A and B are shown apart, each in its own frame.
Chain A
Amino acid sequence: MNIIFKKRKNKIAIITSLVLFLSTSAFAQTEEQKGFNISARSDRSDRGFGDSVVELKMILRNAAGKESTRTLILKTLEVPDENEGDKSIIIFDSPSDISGTAMLSHAKILDADNQWLYLPALKRIKRISSVNKSGPFVGSEFAFEDLTASELNKYKYKFLGVGVCGTLKCDKVERYPQYQYSGYTRQVAWIDRDVHQIRKIEFYERRGDLLKTLNISDYKKYPGNIWRAQNFVMKNHQTGKSTELIYSDYKFKTGLKDNAFQKSDLRSAR
């Protein structure tokens, strides 16, 4: 970016203040455009996955290191339109008292998602408010929005610079939630330059302080050039608590159709 700017300065003899003003504003736009482009390349790298099914283990650790575990199944249906969100069902397997409890989300981009909860003990399906973006998901350090808000157009972006993430080189992109009720003012995503996947996200809360850091690792390449991480560790810097997500192998294109993501299907989801 700086190189282009210098060349232009050398080639053009007369620099008016107007041109300078224009190129600086063009420069600022480019940082945002670049941030968007890096994020778009990352987000679009898994386009065409169709649907996926994965089992995962969630380990909650408090500041003293005491653990409690949940197991769940996550089913996702890709909605190709980038102005629409994906559809997903989360089904709990353990702890055993909530086994069979399921949550269906029809994600929107900037509007509130549609969400339903199924309570097997009462056999009741309940439409729930999706305003609660920043609340903890089942007592974990993940907020609802950390799990659902990966859609490209949910944020505005700005390129920050280049950094080292483990053995890789990463682009640092700042992103600002555009959807309502987010608990964050900004996030910094570290996207590697090798396979364009997110390696780390820092979350800054409403007062502007660093709240949490998410480290994403054990990426695995699936057929169709689809990358999926198998390990997520969310560390809360203010409470000392952390939550680890360990994913089993993904199954793609399992034949799930839209009708498996309707509210009444929560009853038989498992």
Chain B
Amino acid sequence: MKYIFKFIAIFVFAFPTLTYADKEKLSGYVALDLRVFTSDAQFNNQFNGGQSSLILQPEFSSQTVNGTEKFSFIPFARLDNRDDNRSHADLREAYWLRSEEQWNLLVGVNRVFWGVAESNHLVDIINQTDQVDSVNGEEKLGQPMVNITTEQEWGRLSFFVMPLFRERTYPSEEGRLRSDPVVAQEVQYESRDEQRHVDLALRYSHYIGDWDFGVYYFKGTGREPRFTSNNNRLIAQYDQIKQVGIDVQFTSGVWLWKFEGINRLQNNNYFNAMVGGFEYTLYQITNSAADLGLLLEYMHDSRNKISAKAPPVETDDDVFLAARLAMNDTQDSEMLLGVVIDRNDHSKVVSLEIKRRLDNNWKLELESRWFKDTKENTSLSQLKKDSFVALRLARYF
């Protein structure tokens, strides 16, 4: 939180220098979230019924006429009526970017996405997951960094220096979709530098014909914690890791073939994980404008199930099946229905997402998740009473 104010101060100070910029833009959204749980809570002190949130994310950007310099400033805030940890603020972006023909330099807070798969963002490692914001793992906390990138004929090479670690967010004791016991506020680090350990990453990416690919090396504080138990609280323990990752997509006609893999060293223990599959699209089904995408992905993770070595993981031997319907209408209506099935214990997570623009500025989204057939004493069983339906009404500006 403290560093957020520091950055705001820097940006307020830096604003006068923006007067030479000609392309300034203020955009963003304000949204109302309503999330209703279909069952009463499993654990003590959790609320029953629904929770509502107010979300504000203004986006300010400014660019010089020739495009060589750019500022971006995107603060984010959520105010939740049931879960104090879910009420939080973050700087999603606050950076200065200098672009030359073959080089660019970025200093500040940014979000960086790596990967190709839909069910599991396995190789994506730069940003910490904003777990309280969304259980789908796609909301990320802004990461402070210095990032130098070069674009050459032979591809793109990007180097990241990350001087400040962001801790994962977790629900409070009153909140739903949490573990039991609850995750404590205090955390432990393997490194003596704790949150100030300087993490490094180097990524190369390119495409040749129908192949798009990237490889990277990351050395620093692992983004997923493992947990130790203390005083009926779970303490998040952040280890030092070394990880290589690869992501590949082969685009062939209506088929997109995808693969992501990692190899990680954590606590003197190596393990591998992968996700791979395809997306097959039927365009203009039944002579309408709508497209139907069919997705199949397989996830595997070889990590030791002993939590003293590596964080526990759900996606160790799982299959993801999904259908995506894009109506291609003026409202950009879209629906995604998917299920992740654990091949060992046959537990399932079913998800449904529907989006539709109401007019030029309003958008309505529905998200629903059901946790089915969970087995006792698995981490997923902690969510067995947390199936929910969420509605979001957003006003973009």
Contact = CB atoms under 8 A, between A and B. Distances in A.
Contacts of B156: 262, 264
B230 to A, nearest CB: 36
Given A135-B289, A264-B151, A268-B97, A96 B251 contact: no
Contacts of A263: 207, 212
Nearest to B293: A129
A96 B289 CA distance: 23
A258 B70 CA distance: 20
A259 B151 contact: yes
A239 to B, nearest CB: 10
Contacts of B329: 139
A69 interface: yes
A96 B291 contact: no
A112 B256 CA distance: 14
A47 B67 CA distance: 27
A96 B360 contact: yes
A68 interface: yes
B207 A95 contact: no
A53 to B, nearest CB: 11
A257 B27 CA distance: 28
A68 B359 contact: yes
A94 B207 contact: no
A132 B115 CA distance: 23
B113 A135 contact: no
A15 interface: no
A139 B359 contact: no
Contacts, number: 97
How big is the A interface, by class? 35 or more
A131 interface: yes
A259 B251 contact: no
B246 to A, nearest CB: 16
A156 to B, nearest CB: 23
B256 A129 contact: yes
Contacts of B25: 270
A176 to B, nearest CB: 21
A37 interface: no
A98 B23 contact: no
Interface in B93-112: 97, 99, 101-102, 111-112
B29 A97 contact: yes
B357 A97 contact: yes
B111 to A, nearest CB: 5
Identify which of A95, A131, A134, A265 gathers the most chain B CB atoms within 10 Å of its CB. Answer: A95
B307 interface: no
Contact of A135 (B27, B328, B363): B328
A264 B97 CA distance: 14
A230 interface: no
Interface of B: 23, 25, 27, 29, 61, 63, 67, 70, 97, 99, 101-102, 111-113, 115-116, 138, 149, 151, 156, 205, 207, 212, 249, 251, 253-256, 281, 283-284, 289, 291, 328-332, 357, 359-361, 363, 394, 396-397
Top 8 A-B residue pairs of the complex, sorted by shortest distance between their CB atoms:
A96-B396, A139-B330, A123-B113, A97-B396, A95-B360, A124-B113, A132-B283, A68-B330
Given A96-B396, A99-B27, 16 more contacts: A95-B357, A95-B361, A95-B396, A96-B27, A122-B113, A129-B253, A129-B254, A131-B253, A131-B254, A132-B291, A136-B289, A139-B329, A139-B331, A268-B67, A268-B99, A270-B25
